[in-house]
Amino acid sequence: MKRVAAQASFAGPRSIATSLSWEGAAGVRGLHVNLQGGRSSVSGVVATVFGCTGFLGRFVVNRLGKIGSQVIVPYRGEESAFRHLKVMGDLGQIAPVWFDLRDKETVRRAVQYSNVVINLLGKRWETRNFSFDDVHPEATRTIAEAAKEAGVERFIQVSAAGADVNSPSAFARSKGESEKVLREIFPDATILRPTVLYGARDNFLVKWGMIARYWPAFVRTLKDTKFQPLYVADMATALMNALADPETAGKTYELGGPKVYTLEEITELVTRLTFLEPSVVDVPFPALRAFAQVTQPFLRKPRFTVEELDYWKSGDVVVPENAPLTINNLNFSTEDLTVLEKEAVNFLRLYRKPATMNLILEDQLDVKSPRARASR
């Protein structure tokens, strides 16, 4: 994958000069980023990453640590929440700080020494402790105000495809409100709108793998809804490229993978890669939504949630055709992006049965299923 290279030297606590030829922007912003990396390197970045313990967060912290950044990792749980992040940078460069979203002073403390703030906070469904408003617009307001007060130079926010204050989906609507709040407080913020992220421990392909392996039937709905999955490592690279380029400030980017799939195609891919042949049941949307509404309050990690189903129902989760700025504008080409079929097998194979655990892909075997292979 293409990356931006630079050589950095300190010019002050918040001002870093590099050899990158960013004429015009250099006189406006002092923060320039070295993405070259290497042992004991210095990127010039002191970054606070909210949402660092989440699915995308660990990839972003890893990329920041790899290039020699100081990374503040705010956490709200116990020490085990951030323990895996501390090895992602040089000794002492990954600094955990406890915070509470509802306590503005703890948020200020988390950003007071940073020149970069990255907000990855997000929820796919509401809980009794935190609503969409709490985690999206209100949290964004608190973080953006603290960043502005601290003199932070770059603010990057990860939103979601379809974010719109007028969306019928509560999730997409709250993401749209979050973007609006951010633009009012921090106009130079960079907003990234990924479609749906996939990877080990995701909440998308893994969901379908578990349903195919453990449920009595493969339940799905809205099979014609389109998705443009983006590999989580590609998303982290795109974010780093946005950080390295000051021209991305104040802009919104729509990010998606190299290919569009229907939900039916994705679920068929999951069953093919896992060598499972479950009975597929296409449930009407109202019925599955009612099922989610009843079961969701009693499950810590529900497979289907009302908010997620409403989000899928509100429209295709893809990059809009008329999007002015996409991942291709972040030093990426379509050829650089990870292909879903090649990467998904690495973690979906965990849901195979023991007899098929080590089988290679069907197209290499030139058979349609384990049963067909056994009958040859």
Residue appearing with tokens 């058979």: 367
Is residue 298 within 8 Å of residue 128, measured between CB atoms? no
Question: What's the rounded Cα separation, in Å, for the pair 286 and 299?
Answer: 20
| Residue 254 confidence (pLDDT) | 98
pLDDT at 38 over 80: no
Query: Of 34-43, 50-59, 158-167, where does mean pLDDT reach its minimum?
Result: 34-43
pLDDT at 27 over 50: no
Burial call 248-287: b when 16+ CB within 10 Å, e when fewer: bbebbbbbbbbebbebebbbbbbbbbbbbebeeeebeeee
Is residue 169 within 8 Å of residue 314, measured between CB atoms? yes
Question: What's the rounded Cα separation, in Å, for the pair 115 and 45?
Answer: 7
Is residue 66 within 8 Å of residue 34, measured between CB atoms? no
Return the DSSP state at 134: I
**DSSP H helices in 86-231:** 104-111, 132-133, 139-150, 170-185, 205-214
pLDDT band at 365 (very low <50, low <70, confident <90, very high): very low
| Residue 26 confidence (pLDDT) | 31
pLDDT tens digits, one per residue of 44-103: 899 999 999 999 999 999 999 999 999 999 999 888 889 999 999 998 899 999 999 999
Q: Which residue has the higher pLDDT, 324 or 2?
A: 324
In this prediction the pTM is: 0.86
| Residue 266 confidence (pLDDT) | 95
Query: Of 35-44, 76-85, 148-157, where does mean pLDDT reach its minimum?
Result: 35-44
Residue appearing with tokens 């490592």: 233
pLDDT band at 233 (very low <50, low <70, confident <90, very high): very high
pLDDT at 116 over 70: yes
pLDDT at 107 over 80: yes
pLDDT tens digits, one per residue of 250-284: 999 999 999 999 999 999 999 999 999 899 999 99
pLDDT at 376 over 70: no
